[in-house]
Amino acid sequence: MYQAPVDDMKFVLRHLVGLDGVAALDGMDMVSDDLVEAVLDEAGKLAGEVIAPLNHAGDVAGSVRHDDGRVTTPAGFGEAWKAMSEGGWIGLNAAPEHGGQGLPQCVSAAVNEMWNGANMGFALCQLLTQGAIHALEIVGSDAQKDTYLPRLNAGEWSGTMNLTEPQAGTDLAALRTTATPDGDHYLIRGQKIYITYGEHDMSENIIHLVLARLPDAPPGVKGISLFIVPKYLVNEDGSLGARNDVHCLSIEKKLGIKSSPTAVLQYGQDGGAIGYLLGEENRGLDCMFLMMNSARFDVGLQGLAISERAYQQAVGYARDRVQGTPLEREHGDAIVHHPDVLRLLTGMRAEIEAMRALLLVGGASLDRAHLLSGDDADFWQTRANLLIPVIKGWMTERSLQLTSDAVQVHGGMGFIEETGAAQHLRDARILPIYEGTTAIQANDLIFRKTLRDNGDAVRILLAEIRDDMARIAGGGNGVAGIAGSVTAACDTAETVLDTVLARANAPRDAAASGTDFLMMLGYLAGGWQLARGAAAAARATADGEGDPAFMKAKQVTAGAYMAYSLPEVGKMAARIAAGPETLAAMDPAWL
C-alpha cells in the first residue's frame, strides 16, 4: 500500500525551497507553514485511503469503450474523482478568481506527486485538466475564462490536449486537422490519436484543446491555431447543450497505465465539431507550449511518483521476505539485510529524494518567474526553462531503472503480476516517451537552453552550486566531504560544457551529446540538492529540531547518493567526449 512521503516533502519545502520566501511573493500571503502542512496531510490521506487502493484493480480491469462510443473507467474511479473535486484539489494552483485555490506550484507539485504515486493512471486526468486550466488562464478571453475555468477548477469538467495525429507525431508541421470559420465559431474536422482521457465517464463535460489549421494558414508549424472544442456545447447560462461532433473511435491497448483511456478522437464525423479560437490565429503552437511546458514538468513528477511507489512496495516486501541467512545476521532475518538488497534500496531512496528536492525547487522557480517582475522574473524563468528538460528527461529515464530495481528486490515474485511490482515498471515505460521524448528534451536543452546563450544559463547554475558547496564545506557541520564530491562533479560538468559549446558549429555532434548532457546535469543537480539537504539536516540536529533519526537518515542518504549516483557525472562526461566521433564512424547500413 502507498503512504505519501509527507515528511520528506515538508523538509524539502522548508529547508531547500524556502517556503517563507515563496510566501513573501505577491499574491502568496495566504501561504504559511501551518497551511501547507495541513494541505499535505489531507492530500496524503486522500491519496493513501481512497486513490491508491484502486491502482491494481484499475490496471487489471482497464477502461472500456462501448459500441456507442462511451468509455467507462474502472470501478471506483468516478467516486475518487468526485472526492478529489469536492476537496478542491483539481485547481490547487489555479487563480482564485475562477475557483482555484491559488497555492504555489511547489506545493501543488508535492500534492500531484501523491496522486500519481497513489494511482498514475487515475491521476492523469487531473494533470491534463490542470494543463488546460493553465492555458486558458494565460491566453483565454474573459468570456472563455468565465465559461470554462470555474467548472474545470471544480472538477465538473475535465480537459485534454490534442496534438498528435496518425501522420503527425513529433513533426507537427504535418498536422492536417482543419478549422473552417462558421459565424462566431469554427468547424473542426480531423482525427487525433493518443488523447489521454479523451473520452470517459468521470466528469460531466470534456474540454478538448485542439490544434488545427485555418483555410488560409501558412504551411508548417507557423500555420497552426488552437481551439476549444467541448464534448457538450455550453449554453449561455452555463448549462450543457447538445453533444458536439467529436467521437471516440477506439481506446488504445497499452503496455501500462491501462486504467487511463487513451483515445482516438474523430472531429467532424457529421459535418464538423464546433470549436472556438483560443488565443491568436496561427499562434496555436505557442499557446499549446504554455500547456506543454507545464505537462513536461508534470511528467518528470510522474517519474518521481512511480519510483516512490515502487520503492515503498520493494521496502515492504524486503522487510517481510525471509530467504537465506544474510551475511553476519541471524537465521530468520529478512532479505532487507542482504547487502545487495540493501544496496538496491539505498540507491533507490537516494535518487528518489534527489528527484523530489529538484522537482520542488524547480516548482519554486516557476513560482518566482510567475510572481516576480523585471530582471528577477527573467532570471527565474530562465532557470525554470533550463531545469524543465532536465526534470522531465532525467527523472523519467531513471524511473525505468528504479522501478526495475524494485522488481529485482522481489526476485521471481516481482515478475508475477499479482504482487503489483511489475505494474510500476510497465507504467513507467511511457514516461520518457510522451510529452516529448528524452531526445526532444535533450535537443531543447542543448540547442535552446545551452548553445543559444553560449552556455550562460548553465554556467550561472554551476556557479550557484559551487557557492552553495563552499558555504556547506565551511559550515563545520560534518558534511564537508559530501560538498567536496559535488564540487568535483561541478568541475567535471564545466569542462563538459566547454566541450559542448565547441561543437556549436557541428550540430550533429552537439545532438549526439544531448541525452548524456541532460543526464549529467540531472545527476549533478540531484547531488546539489541532497548536499543542501544534508547540511540542513545537520543544522537541525545541532539545534535540536526535528526527529533525530529522520535527520540522520537524510545525511546518510546524501552520502549514499555521492557513492552510487554522483559518479555517473564522470561517466556521462566520458561518453560526451567520445560519443560523437564513434557515431560519425557508424554507417546506418551496418545496423
- Choose among 1, 8, 11: nearest CA to 45: 1
Q: Can you give 117-135 as a three-state secondary structure string?
A: HHCHHHHHHHHHHHHHHHH
Containing 555, the helix (H) or strand (E) segment is helix 548-564
Do 572 and 516 touch, CB atoms closer than 8 A?
Answer: yes
Q: Is 42 a catalytic residue?
A: no
CA distance 32 to 24: 10
DSSP state of 168: B
- Cell 547540511, located at residue: 535
Containing 34, the helix (H) or strand (E) segment is helix 33-46
Q: What is the pairing mode between strands 262-267 and 157-162?
A: unpaired
- Cell 503512504, located at residue: 3
Q: DSSP letters of 205-244?
A: EEEEEEEEE-TTPPSGGGGEEEEEEESEEE-TTS-EEEEP
Do 208 and 160 touch, CB atoms closer than 8 A?
Answer: yes
Do 188 and 213 touch, CB atoms closer than 8 A?
Answer: no
Do 55 and 121 touch, CB atoms closer than 8 A?
Answer: yes
CA distance 225 to 217: 9
Q: DSSP letters of 287-324?
A: HHHHHHHHHHHHHHHHHHHHHHHHHHHHHHHHHH---S
- Choose among 189, 164, 194, 186: nearest CA to 177: 189
Length of the chain: 591
List b or e across 543-557, with b for residues whose CB sees 16 or more CB atoms inside 10 angstroms: eeebeeeebeebbeb
- How far apart, in Å, are the Cα atoms of 348 and each of 15, 463, 505, 521, 557? 22, 28, 39, 18, 10
- Choose among 333, 450, 326, 465: nearest CA to 390: 450
Do 414 and 406 touch, CB atoms closer than 8 A?
Answer: yes
Catalytic residue among 113, 351, 435, 568: 435
Could you give the residue ranges of the DSSP H alpha helices within 263-415?
284-320, 339-371, 374-410
Spatial neighbors of 256 by CB under 8 A, at least 6 apart, are 423, 425, 426, 427, 428, 429, 430
The catalytic residues are: 435
